[in-house]
């Protein structure tokens, strides 16, 4: 489905990003895996992708750093000869009630979750526009749609990502590039693994389907949006949340 394409996935060393990178590799895409700290995990993702039979390389990058992102994107384009797909998945949380949230916690979360997406779109847009089927996929959140107590920074960033998605979709449509957002609900990742069983039970009781989602379920949608099958879909925000926000 994605054979001959090059996909750049930020936050690719774990969770949703890892699942997206591996499923895109399984569908034939070469993979540039962006990570911030866990080199071993990123290399492991690339090793699995290589075993599948595609080209894969890990790149360490602080996505919130404009200059560092620019240099990383140049390296990727040199290594792979171009980019067809960009998945902005890198994200962090620093939860607290608004009255207790520090400026640094707000700035850091917005920097990674929102500015990081801007940085990669900014620096890869020319390469993606050269593709015959350029695709940009931003991983937002239901917190960016409905808000969430204790997540003023995260919700603001993820909501901003939706606005960025719609603007990029309009600006790049003339070049045949689509830009869409996926808004996951509660997904079984490292972030949710640390929650107490009581909180997990509360979460699941609030979801109409009565369970958390799996990273692979987000990856399936990402692969569809990256493929030719989604060529007439752009500027959309698709929730994968078990019915939380319906």
* pTM exceeds 0.85 for this model: yes
- For residue 118, report the phi and psi dihedrals to the nearest 5 degrees: -55, -45
Helix (H) or strand (E) holding 196: none
Tens-level pLDDT at each residue, the chain (246 residues)? 999 999 999 999 999 999 999 999 999 999 999 999 999 999 999 999 999 999 999 999 999 999 999 999 999 999 999 999 999 999 999 999 999 999 999 999 999 999 999 999 999 999 999 998 899 999 999 999 999 999 999 999 999 999 999 999 999 999 999 999 999 999 998 767 777 788 778 888 889 999 999 999 999 999 999 999 999 999 999 999 999 998
Residues 6 or more apart whose Cβ sits within 8 Å of residue 140: 158, 159, 161, 162, 165, 181, 182, 183, 237
DSSP letters spanning 101-168: --HHHHHHHHIIIIIHHHHHHHHHHHHHHHSTT-EEEEE--THHHH--TTBHHHHHHHHHHHHHHHHH
Active site residue 232: no
124 domain residue, yes or no: yes
Rounded (5°) CA angle 90-213-143: 55
Whether residue 189 is contained in a domain is answered as: yes
Query: Is residue 213 in some structural domain?
Result: yes
CA separation for the pair 85, 125 (Å, rounded): 10
| Other C-beta atoms lying within 10 Å of the C-beta of residue 4 | 9
User: For residue 102, which of 65, 143, 153, 64 has the smallest C-alpha distance?
Assistant: 153
Kindly name the residue from 35, 59, 154, 232 that is annotated as catalytic: 154
Using CB atoms within 10 Å of the CB of residue 104, give its burial: 0 to 12 exposed, 13 to 18 middle, 19+ buried: exposed
Domain that holds residue 113: 6-240
Q: Looking at the domain assignment, is residue 173 inside a domain?
A: yes
Please tell me the total number of residues recorded for the chain in this structure.
246
For residue 107, tell me if it sits in a domain: yes
pLDDT of residue 192: 73
Question: Cβ–Cβ contacts within 10 Å for residue 138, how many?
Answer: 25
Please spell the DSSP secondary structure of 203-242, one letter per residue: HHHHSTTSS-B-HHHHHHHHHHHHSGGGTT--S-EEEEST
User: The domain spanning residue 109 has which CATH number?
Assistant: 3.40.50.720
**Does residue 223 lie in a domain region?**
yes
Model pLDDT, residue 200: 79
Q: Is residue 146 part of a domain?
A: yes
Compute CA 39 distance to the chain's CA centroid, rounded to the nearest angstrom. 18
Number of structural domains in the chain? 1
Distance (Å, whole) CA 175 – CA 172: 5
Cα 182 to Cα 142: distance, rounded to the nearest angstrom:
9
Tell me how far the alpha carbon of residue 215 is from its chain's centroid.
Answer: 11
Q: Does 246 reside within a domain? A: no
Q: Is 235 exposed, middle or buried (0-12, 13-18, 19+ CB in 10 A)?
A: middle
């Amino acid at each position: 489905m994605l054979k001959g394409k090059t996909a750049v996935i930020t936050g690719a060393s774990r969770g949703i990003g890892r699942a997206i990178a591996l499923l895109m590799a399984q569908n034939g895409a070469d993979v540039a895996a962006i990570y911030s700290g866990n080199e071993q995990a990123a290399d492991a993702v690339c090793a699995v992708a290589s075993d599948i039979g595609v080209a894969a390389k890990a790149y360490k990058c602080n996505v919130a750093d404009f200059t560092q992102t620019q240099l990383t994107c140049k390296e990727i384009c040199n290594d792979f000869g171009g980019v067809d797909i960009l998945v902005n998945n890198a994200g962090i949380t620093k939860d607290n009630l608004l009255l207790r949230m520090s400026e640094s916690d707000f700035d850091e979360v917005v920097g990674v979750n929102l500015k990081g997406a801007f940085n990669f779109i900014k620096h890869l847009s020319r390469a993606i526009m050269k593709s015959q089927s350029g695709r940009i996929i931003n991983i937002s959140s239901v917190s960016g749609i409905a808000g969430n107590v204790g997540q003023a920074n995260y919700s603001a960033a993820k909501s901003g990502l939706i606005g960025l998605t719609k603007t990029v979709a309009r600006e790049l449509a003339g070049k045949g590039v689509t830009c869409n957002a996926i808004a996951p609900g509660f997904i079984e990742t490292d972030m949710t693994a640390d929650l107490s069983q009581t909180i997990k039970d509360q979460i699941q009781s609030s979801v109409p389907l009565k369970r958390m989602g799996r990273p692979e379920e987000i990856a399936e949608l990402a692969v569809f949006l990256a493929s030719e099958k989604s060529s007439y879909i752009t500027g959309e925000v698709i929730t994968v949340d078990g019915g939380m926000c319906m």
